[in-house]
Amino acid sequence: MLKLVLLKLLAVFFCMAPALAQEQVAIVRKGGLLVFLPGVGGPDTYGTYFVPNALGRDSLDRFQYLGNPLQINFLPPSELPSDFPQMNEAEKLEEFFRTESRHMTKAFGKQIDFNNFENIRCDGTDCLSATTVLDDSGPEKMELRLTARVAGEGILHAAYQNLNPETTAETQSMAEKLLSSFKFVPRPLTPDELAAISQKARE
Amino acid sequence: MGLLLLGIICGALICYWIGIRFYRGFVARSLGIDETRETPAIRKNDGKDFVPAKVYVLFAHHFAAIAGAGPIVGPTLAMVYGYLPALLWVVIGAILLGGVHDMVTLFISTREEGRSVADIARQYLGPLGYVCIVSFLVIGLFMITATFLNLSVTALTSMYPAEKLGMKATSAEDIQVAMEKPADSMGMHPFHHDEGLPTAAVMRDGQPVVMARIGGIASTSVLFITLCAPLLGLLIYRLRTPAWMNYAIAAVLCAASVVLGVWFPVVVSPDVWRFLMTFYVILASAVPVWLLLMPRDFVNVQILYAGLLAIVAGVIIAGVTGRFAEIPAAPQGVAEVIPAWNLETGLQYVGILWPMLFITLSCGAISGFHCLVSSGTTARQLSSERHAGKVGYNSMLLESLLAVSIILTLLIGLDWKNYLNITYTEKNPVLAVSLATGSLVNLAFGLPVWTGTVLGILLLEGFVVTTLDVAVRLNRYLLEEVWRFIFKNPPAFLRSVWFNTLLCAGIMFLLSRSNTLPVLWQVFGSANQMMGAMALLVAAVWLRDHGRRSAFVLIPAVLMFATTFASTGLALMKNLANSNWPLVSACAVLILLGAATAFIGTRLLLAPPRISRA
């Protein structure tokens, strides 16, 4: 009996390790089991981030993001706003973040550790924003707020606002180059959109 | 201030002398050390894991293995309560708890054929006690090795603005020329600086800056020492060259590795380093100890001895001359020095003094990881029982001296505001130590600040790598024992050294790439001390069953159980309030395993002795 317990414990740990090795991991709880869901943010990430049923709609539980000071909550569909994007959009959102570092690498032609999203927020309807700081690991300090809009067709577009007051023309150009590497068309946030996001962030 | 520094360092040295002279002797008598008794290293000498070692080589290996990042990072973090609480616990804890823990586990393992603490617990605490302890140790070791791998990679790839290290300022035109050259694989533009360290130009905050690649020197040093280690292994273990010659060769190799590092710094990306280090620990864990692990530790530890000596000498010179007031980083009288006592700030950044100070200080005073080294590699190489105190107890006190030196270096080299800013706001305690060491070296020996900073990085890197390679080997030993416990006749592949080594190194590599590791590490910080409490409890049962007095290990065990249960309980409540269920589960598992072990141990201690052997 004890031998079996020890063997199971080690087996679970050994199986967890490859899942933990994903660069971006959330630990979620589903049906009493801990499930490792790659691609939804790092430990620096905070804010509230709703993903409906990324693991299967039927038995969705309340999920918990590991180490997140403010939690990322994965809510069952019944608790989601009626106009919240459904599963396919959520998967696209995940893909959006999962491929972020690949895009960055491609855009700049060099390896970039893109592991420092901050302020991921969602207003519970169709808008998700994330601020990222490219500082130590990047070629140049650049703070970008990316806003991805999602709707029935998936991600429609991303907007950006460079938050770095010392932005140089070169930085700006790199930011645009970065955003143009995405499959959606970037544009600056309008004042109204910015105000709306700020309002949501304050809430 | 100068008198205070001298008083502290002299007071600590006197306490250590009293500890070695009186308390170590008391422990040795209580254990019943028998100099004539043959040790497993001699009886089971297989030329691979069981190899009798000369005491100075074994001391070097043991000290290098037990002293990881803990005695450097732990005191740095703990100084948020002021320097006095950290200082007191580091000195008293090492003499009465840490040294005893290391010496006793080494002795008991030697008496038990070089078996690990977990395997000894199997016999003395029963199968349930064994399962609790071994699962705790195996998972803890995986976390430790992955964290140390990351620390090592961070140190080897660290950079800092050259000008802030006291290097000559560079003209904007020169930097601009460098910026126009093609970038290397790290996105940096190589730049030739006239003095000091290898440098590269990068954009920071919209401005081109020359960064010193302080990790590049340590990288070359690590590679050079590793490549030369087998040569020294042959000299020490096969040709049996005299000790003075071995020391001389090791010192020359160390010096050469640093000089080579300045000339040819190795700069590769963190992932490449992670891979290279993993490859190294696979070799160090699987090949015979005398060929790579022991000689490498012996060479590397010369840097650690030299660094420790330089820091202690620097503190004494600073105390005698009183020139610390001239240090730019700590303009005394202008900036506030780190206070002796500041519970309010400690409470704000870390938590209440008890238990958090004792957990934060980590292995500066007592560490459970040490019992794994004592009962793993060291016990299998101890050539005489009389060396148990010299190796086990003294090396813990040397580690404590290192922690004291770090505390005093920070006291001299950084002011309160900078200390809080770098250590807690920027969350970079390693940088705080390196900068303070730079100031100290500059003050005491008149050398440029960057030399001290490089020394700080070399020290940290040396301690981390020498702990990492041993930890993987220890984990391999533990897994081999686990398979023998689970299966009556383990399949051939589970008995294979290479399979178990690859398993340990592979899981370590995967975990090190996870962003989950730093989060889980918050919980496992107190697990290290809980491991120590478990080992002390096993020792208490062993001593009682062998008819010897056990209060000197039982009291520290109770203290450490209380401290670690309190800190893990606090973490559990905090995570419970945040509904962070994964971390709540991790805390609960730790408390459960610790409580089960404490319960089993207490029940056995209250019952009559079961075994009565000499």
Domains and CATH numbers, chain B: 2-157+283-518 (1.10.4160), 160-212 (no CATH), 216-268 (no CATH)
Write out chain A residues lying below 8 Å of B519, CB-based.
Answer: 43, 66-67
Write out chain B residues lying below 8 Å of A17, CB-based.
Answer: 142, 507, 510-511
Write out chain B residues lying below 8 Å of A139, CB-based.
Answer: 183, 187, 202-203
Write out chain A residues lying below 8 Å of B183, CB-based.
Answer: 110, 139
B370 is written with which tokens? 């040490």
B598 is written with which tokens? 């404490």
- Asked if residue B246 lies in contact with residue B238, where contact means CB atoms within 8 angstroms, the answer is no
Note the pLDDT tens digit of each residue in B149-175: 888 887 787 777 787 777 777 777 787
Q: Please tell me the pTM assigned to this model.
A: 0.76
Tell me, yes or no, if B187 comes closer than 8 A to chain A by beta carbon. yes
Q: What is the predicted pLDDT for the residue at B543?
A: 95
**Chain B nearest CA to A151, separation (Å):** 30
Buried b (16+ CB within 10 A) or exposed e, B110-120: bbbebbbbbbb
Average pLDDT of every residue of chain B: 86
**Chain B nearest CA to A6, separation (Å):** 6
ipTM for the predicted complex: 0.71
Nearest chain B Cα to A109, which residue? B187
B475 is written with which tokens? 């984990």
Residue A14 is assigned to a structural domain of this protein: no
Placement of tokens 């586990």 in the chain: B105
CB–CB contact B518 A66 (8 Å): no
| Least CB–CB distance from B205: residue in A18, A23, A166 | A166
| Integer Rg of chain B from CA | 24
Length of chain B: 614
Selected residue of B122, B134, B189, B203 to mutate for chain A interface (largest A Cβ count, 10 A) = B203
The lowest-confidence range among A46-50, B349-353, B538-542 is: A46-50
Residue B559 φ/ψ, nearest 5 degrees: -60, -45
The region that residue B508 occupies, defined by phi over 0 for left and psi between -120 and 50 for alpha, beta otherwise, is: alpha
Residue A10 is assigned to a structural domain of this protein: no
Residue A149 is assigned to a structural domain of this protein: yes
Separation of alpha carbons B519 and B504, rounded Å: 21
Placement of tokens 């090190």 in the chain: B512
Q: What is the predicted pLDDT for the residue at A148?
A: 39
Structural domain count of chain A: 1
Q: What is the predicted pLDDT for the residue at A169?
A: 53
More confident call, A54 vs B252 = B252
CB–CB contact A66 B128 (8 Å): no
Q: What is the predicted pLDDT for the residue at A161?
A: 39
Position B464, amino acid = V
pLDDT over 50 at B140, yes or no: yes
Query: Bridge partners of A118?
Result: A131
**Chain B nearest CA to A152, separation (Å):** 32
Per-residue pLDDT averaged across B112-138, rounded?
91
| pLDDT confidence bin for B576, thresholds 50/70/90 | confident
- Asked if residue A25 lies in contact with residue A98, where contact means CB atoms within 8 angstroms, the answer is no
Per-residue pLDDT averaged across B324-333, rounded?
49
Residue A78 is assigned to a structural domain of this protein: yes
Residue A117 is assigned to a structural domain of this protein: yes
Write out chain B residues lying below 8 Å of A168, CB-based.
Answer: 206
Quote the domain boundaries for residue A78.
22-202
Q: What is the predicted pLDDT for the residue at B73?
A: 87
3-class SS letters over chain A: CHHHHHHHHHHHHHHHHHHHCCCCEEEEEECCEEEEEECCCCCCCCEECCCCCCCCCCCCCCEECCCCCCCCEECCHHHCCCCCCCHHHHHHHHHHHHCHHHHHHHHHCCCCCCCCEEEEEECCCCEEEEEEEECCCCCCCEEEEEEEEEECCEEEEEEEEECCCCCCHHHHHHHHHHHHCCCCEEEECCHHHHHHHHHHHHC
Per-residue pLDDT averaged across B512-537, rounded?
78
3-class SS letters over B368-405: CHHHHHHHHHHCCCECCCCHHHHHHHHHHHHHHHHHHH
Separation of alpha carbons B445 and A47, rounded Å: 50
Q: What is the predicted pLDDT for the residue at B433?
A: 87
Tell me, yes or no, if A48 comes closer than 8 A to chain B by beta carbon. no
Task: Fill in the DSSP letter of residue B335.
Answer: B
| pLDDT confidence bin for B144, thresholds 50/70/90 | confident
Q: What is the predicted pLDDT for the residue at B259?
A: 87
Instruction: For residue B103, give Cα distances in angstroms to A49, A163, A197, B14, B15.
Output: 51, 57, 61, 20, 18
Q: In chain A, which stretches have pLDDT less than 50?
A: 22-168, 170-171, 174-175, 178-189, 197-198, 200-203
| Least CB–CB distance from A21: residue in B485, B511, B519 | B511
Residue A11 is assigned to a structural domain of this protein: no
Residue A104 is assigned to a structural domain of this protein: yes
pLDDT over 50 at B5, yes or no: yes
Residues 6+ apart with CB under 8 A from A140: A134, A168, A170, A171, A174, B203, B204, B206
- Asked if residue A28 lies in contact with residue A63, where contact means CB atoms within 8 angstroms, the answer is yes
Q: What is the predicted pLDDT for the residue at B582?
A: 61
Residue A7 is assigned to a structural domain of this protein: no
CB–CB contact A71 B578 (8 Å): yes
Q: What is the predicted pLDDT for the residue at A67?
A: 30
**Chain A nearest CA to B388, separation (Å):** 32
More confident call, B487 vs A176 = B487
Element (H, E) at B193: none
CB–CB contact B519 A3 (8 Å): no
More confident call, B50 vs A13 = B50
Residues 6+ apart with CB under 8 A from B323: B317, B443, B444
In 3-state terms, what secondary structure has residue B442? Answer: helix
pLDDT over 70 at B579, yes or no: no
CB–CB contact A141 B185 (8 Å): no
Per-residue pLDDT averaged across B371-391, rounded?
93
Length of chain A: 203
- Asked if residue B478 lies in contact with residue B503, where contact means CB atoms within 8 angstroms, the answer is no
CB–CB contact A171 B206 (8 Å): yes
Q: Which of B124-133, B454-463, B580-589 has the highest mean pLDDT?
A: B124-133
| Integer Rg of chain A from CA | 18
More confident call, B59 vs A185 = B59
pLDDT over 80 at B353, yes or no: yes
Tell me, yes or no, if A64 comes closer than 8 A to chain B by beta carbon. yes
More confident call, B278 vs B335 = B278
| pLDDT confidence bin for B220, thresholds 50/70/90 | confident
**Chain A nearest CA to B127, separation (Å):** 7
Separation of alpha carbons B21 and B583, rounded Å: 44
